[in-house]
Amino acid sequence: MAQKKITQRWLTGSLGVILVILVIVEIAVWTVVRTFYYSSAQQTLLSQANTVNTLLAKYAEDPSTDYQREVRNLVENFELRDRMELMAVDAYGNVTSTSSGFAVNEKIEMPDFEAALASPDRMGSFQGELGGEKIIAISSIAPVNDESLVAVRLVASLTKVDGLIYTVVTMAVLAGIAIIFFMLLSGSYFISSIVIPVGEIGKTARKIAHGNFSTRLEKKNDDEIGDLCEAINYMAEELGNTDKMKNEFISSVSHELRTPLTAIKGWSETILDAGDDRETIQKGMRVIISETDRLSLMVEELLDFSRMQSGRLKLIIEKIDLLAELEEAVLMYTEKARREQLDFQYEERLEAAIVMADKNRLRQVFINIIDNAIKYSDAGGKIRILAAAEGDYFVVSVSDTGCGISPEDLPKIKQKFYKANLTRRGSGIGLAVADELVSSFGGSIDVQSTLGEGTTVTIRIPNVRRYEIWQQAQQTPGKGGEEQKN
């Protein structure tokens, strides 16, 4: 389909125009050449007629010459007789002598002679077919009127001239055909260098659309088509990665949902059979509550993530105390950290930290980061949470002595669905959500980590003054757009 269209467009657009131009040029060549040859033939006849007339006038003036004999002599010995024919025409319109030697002495059709008789300048010409031959003829009334000679007539055949014109025009036509041939050759090479790869790209794109993300295009030339091949390969690679991440995400989320549900179901059954065993009932209830918390945290995270992706996440930005939210998150995890035998310490190096943010979301960010620190640490590990002020920003750092992140994974951990450590539970969207939320408060999240040694996550949130400056910059066109979702 594409092949037909591009080729067709080239045929009509470029070849068609060249063809029309060539036809016009050929017609112009034919007209110019024909006019040139015909008019030069006529010029030659005219100048000869004048020469003959001058001689006739001279003979007529000289009484010592026999006028009629001189005329016959002149006609019969005409110098240019192999190029044209000279005739003497009498008062009755008969050709009395000719340079070809065939005296006709009868009336022949001579439109030029008729024209000369009628014309005030005593000349007449004719060009066309006469007696089965194409000729050019000029008749000139003689300077002296004698009954046996009224006019001289010069006739030349146009067959040779036409032959010459034919040769020139044929050469021009051949040149035109050669031009068209080379155009076809170079054009079809050019078209095939576009159409064939475009067809392949189309096929590969359809394969990718059907889910074959491992298919690749070969970059044959370093041109625009080559760039397109590279772009399509890159697209296939990215789609493949996303598809892989999506599958891993679905499997880890299902696993994440199943684990607490299994625990809740197991403990519910145990409680049902526990009778009056208060200790078992209390232990079971505690597990059920903590597993339910875990579930709702995850579901919240998933919902937020989905709202973020579709741009439906509504933030309530107001003046709040960052420390209050941080303290609440710390409190939520103190008990859990103790149970997991972690050295969990929290330090505040400031009195108040008023920021512009969404209260619940900010707490959620802290919960996420602290949850990760606990999740990726083993018993005996240390977790330090520190809140401090740094210029126009409040900085909360959460350090752990857990498993750490490899340098290859570190740049990717903030991407959605990305999990560097597959041995721990998690959906891979916690950091992505946290990062997006903090960005919408004008802040940032920075992760530093050494594999096997530990991780420090630093959250920076601007104070009210800095937040307002940042907000203005966001709203000024060309300075980052209006991403704010409040």
Residue closer to ligand ADP (CB basis): 117 or 297: 297
**Distance between CA atoms of 276 and 266, rounded to whole angstroms?**
18
Shortest spacing between CB 415 and ligand ADP, in angstroms = 8
Residue closer to ligand ADP (CB basis): 387 or 420: 420
Site pattern 436..465 for ligand ADP (x: CB under 6 A): -------------------x----------
Residue closer to ligand ADP (CB basis): 320 or 362: 362
Q: Which residue is associated with the tokens 């209260």?
A: 359
Q: In this chain, which of 149, 373, 387, 438 binds ligand ADP, going by CB under 6 A?
A: 373
**Residue 89 to residues 10, 58, 232, 301: CA-CA distances in angstroms?**
64, 19, 90, 119
Q: Are 279 and 272 spatial neighbours (Cβ–Cβ below 8 Å)? A: no
By CB under 6 A, tell whether 253 contacts ligand ADP.
no
By CB under 6 A, tell whether 405 contacts ligand ADP.
yes
By CB under 6 A, tell whether 333 contacts ligand ADP.
no
The number of residues that bind ligand ADP (CB under 6 A) is: 21
By CB under 6 A, tell whether 396 contacts ligand ADP.
no
Shortest spacing between CB 241 and ligand ADP, in angstroms = 15
Q: What six digits make up the tokens of 196?
A: 């064939």
Short-list 464, 460, 466, CA closest to 386: 460
Shortest spacing between CB 301 and ligand ADP, in angstroms = 8
406-435: contacts with ligand ADP (CB under 6 A) = 413, 418-421, 426-432
Residue closer to ligand ADP (CB basis): 361 or 419: 419
Shortest spacing between CB 209 and ligand ADP, in angstroms = 30
Shortest spacing between CB 457 and ligand ADP, in angstroms = 6
Residue closer to ligand ADP (CB basis): 68 or 421: 421
Which residues are paired to 445 by β-bridges?
459
By CB under 6 A, tell whether 304 contacts ligand ADP.
no
Q: What six digits make up the tokens of 145?
A: 């009127």
Q: Are 383 and 342 spatial neighbours (Cβ–Cβ below 8 Å)? A: yes
Residue closer to ligand ADP (CB basis): 108 or 447: 447
Strands 343-348 and 382-390: parallel
Residue closer to ligand ADP (CB basis): 44 or 448: 448
Site pattern 376..395 for ligand ADP (x: CB under 6 A): x-------------------
Stretch that binds ligand ADP, among 156-164, 211-219, 325-333, 398-406 (CB under 6 A): 398-406
**Distance between CA atoms of 89 and 86, rounded to whole angstroms?**
10
By CB under 6 A, tell whether 400 contacts ligand ADP.
yes
Stretch that binds ligand ADP, among 120-128, 130-138, 204-212, 399-407 (CB under 6 A): 399-407
**Distance between CA atoms of 401 and 344, rounded to whole angstroms?**
11
**Distance between CA atoms of 152 and 86, rounded to whole angstroms?**
7
Residue closer to ligand ADP (CB basis): 284 or 430: 430
Residues that bind ligand ADP (CB under 6 A): 372-373, 376, 400, 402-405, 413, 418-421, 426-432, 455
